[in-house]
Amino acid sequence: MSMHRVNSEHGLAWVTGASSGMGRALALRLVRDGYSVVVTSRNHDRLVALQQEAAAEGRIIVLDGDVTDPQDMERVLASIEYDHGDLSLAVFTADVAIPVRGDDLHREAFEQSFAVNVNGVVNCLLPAVAHMKARGQGHIAIVSGVAGYRGLPGNAAYGATKAALINMAESLKPDLERIGIRLQVIIPGPVEATGSARLGFPGVAAISADAAAGQIVAGLRSKHFEISLPNATTAMTRLARWLPYGAYCSLIERVTRKKGMPPVSTVKSAKSAERPPQAV
Ligand SMILES: NC(=O)c1ccc[n+]([C@@H]2O[C@H](COP(=O)([O-])OP(=O)(O)OC[C@H]3O[C@@H](n4cnc5c(N)ncnc54)[C@H](OP(=O)(O)O)[C@@H]3O)[C@@H](O)[C@H]2O)c1
């Protein structure tokens, strides 16, 4: 079956986590591509600022919502479909990145990470799939991250949620394709974060959110299931994916001993100073 590809003529795009970072940059890119874009997050003022920034180029529709609340997401979907038009493309970027270390464990860090990053995606996925299934077409992309490929110190909660999303997308892909819905998984490497500070290796160069959004749009148009960006960094971590445990563990041990592994990376732009790293 030939799968539905991103095309602004087909209807509306929906981006969660659009108040900052990649979600925001992606919403602006999609507007420039001719989409009417529904943007969702909890911060109404930031979404309205985004709407005003895009006003000269196209239409952004602000629908506040907390992805951890399934009824909120049902309401957002109902508003998209009944007030604005058919949902064609949905990209789920909303997340939290909370550092977790083995010697300082907090239940809340795991609960909050899974509530936003995994259940939050499920809460958006269910109503989106229901509406797309009724039409027999649609396109969904779930944002995971390289931390989902293999375990990394500091990433016990965040990395586990991102691994879960990769597994979830792999599992759902064939079933959704059978009902006409295209599913992709987006795997960013380090990207300048404007919201929550990011976990990661020190010294790994980050690309801008706008450059990442450009690569995501290109990936959405491609035939690939996995959209990985930026390529140099993700290629390295992809290779690490295939290392046997002995080699992987000693690599991580060497890197963390040599360079140190801070709980949060320096992958932050000046803007991120507005919101301190989330800690539980
Ligand atoms: N930046 C990186 O280096 C990097 C690397 C790998 C993967 N990623 C992934 O790429 C995606 C975007 O990352 P980013 O750094 O650009 O993100 P970001 O700037 O930190 O933005 C996160 C977004 O999620 C929203 N959000 C958080 N909790 C929410 C909730 N309960 N309900 C609704 N929205 C919520 C925030 O909006 P409000 O606070 O307004 O609700 C914000 O818009 C994430 O999935 C992240 O895991 C990022």
Please indicate whether residue 246 or residue 5 has the higher confidence score (pLDDT).
246
Task: For residue range 181-207, list pLDDT tens digits in order.
Answer: 999 999 998 898 765 556 555 556 788
> Looking at 14-28, 70-84, 243-257, which range is the least confident one?
243-257
How many Å lie between the centroid of ligand 1 and the Cα of residue 272?
Answer: 12
- State what percent of residues in the chain have pLDDT above 90: 71
Q: How confident is residue 27, by pLDDT bands cut at 50, 70 and 90?
A: very high
Domains and CATH numbers, the chain: 8-273 (3.40.50.720)
Distance CA 2, CA 5 (A): 9
Alpha-carbon separation of residue 108 from 39, 122, 163, 279 (angstroms)? 27, 20, 19, 10
Look up 158 and say whether it is catalytic. yes
Question: Any idea which of 53-67, 74-88, 197-211 has the lowest mean pLDDT?
Answer: 197-211
Rounded distance from Cα 116 to ligand 1 centre (Å): 10
CA 143 to ligand 1: nearest atom? 45
DSSP-based three-state secondary structure for 53? helix
> What average pLDDT does the structure give for the chain?
87
Distance from C-alpha of 73 to C-alpha of 125, rounded to nearest angstrom: 9
Q: What's the average model confidence in pLDDT over 229-233? A: 73
Q: Model confidence at 261, in pLDDT bands (50, 70, 90)?
A: low
Q: What angle do the packed helices 120-135 and 70-79 form, to 10 degrees?
A: 30
* Residue 16 near residue 40 (C-beta atoms within 8 A): yes
- Bond from prior residue into 127 cis (ω within 30 degrees of 0): no
Residue 269: the pLDDT is 32
Ligand 1 pocket check for 212: Cβ under 6 Å: no
Instruction: Tell whether ligand 1 has an atom less than 6 A from the beta carbon of residue 67.
Output: yes
CA distance linking residue 97 with residue 20, whole number of Å: 14
Q: Which atom of ligand 1 is nearest to the CA of 190?
A: 3
Residue % of the chain over a pLDDT of 70:
83
Distance from C-alpha of 108 to C-alpha of 122, rounded to nearest angstrom: 20
Hunting for tokens 């064609």 — which residue is that? 88
Is ligand 1 within 6 A of the CB of residue 237?
no
- Pairwise CA distance, residues 187 & 143, whole Å: 6
Per-position DSSP letters for 117-183, written without gaps between them: IIIHHHHHHHHHHHHHHHHT-EEEEEE--GGGTS--TTBTTHHHHHHHHHHHHHHHHHHHHHTTEEE
> CB count, 10 Å around CB of 276?
10
Name the residue at shortest CA distance from atom 15 of ligand 1.
193
Q: Which of 111, 110, 275 has the alpha carbon at shortest distance from 193?
A: 275
Q: Which residues contact 90 (CB under 8 A, 6 or more apart)?
A: 13, 14, 15, 16, 124, 128, 138, 139, 140, 141
Q: Are 262 and 202 in contact (CB under 8 A)?
A: yes
Ligand 1: distance of its center to the CA of 160 in Å?
Answer: 16
Q: Which of 35, 149, 158, 245 is catalytic?
A: 158
Point out the least confidently predicted range of 100-104, 109-113, 216-220. 100-104
Radius of gyration of the chain measured on its C-alpha atoms: 18
Counting DSSP H helices and E strands in the chain, the numbers are 9, 7
Whether 169 has a pLDDT exceeding 50, the answer reads yes
Best mutation site among 95, 142, 185, 231 for ligand 1 pocket (most ligand atoms within 8 Å of CB): 95
Burial (0-12, 13-18, 19+ Cβ within 10 Å), 155: buried
Residues present in the chain in total = 280
Q: Give pLDDT, residue 279.
A: 26
Structure tokens at 110: 């795991």
Whether residue 81 has its Cβ less than 6 Å from ligand 1: no
In sequence order, which residues have a C-beta less than 8 Å from that of residue 107 and are 6 or more positions away? none
Q: What is the pLDDT of residue 273?
A: 32
Q: Does the beta carbon of 41 lie inside 6 Å of ligand 1?
A: yes
What percent of the residues of the chain are helix, what percent strand, and what percent coil, each to the nearest 5? 50, 15, 35
pTM score, two decimals?
A: 0.91
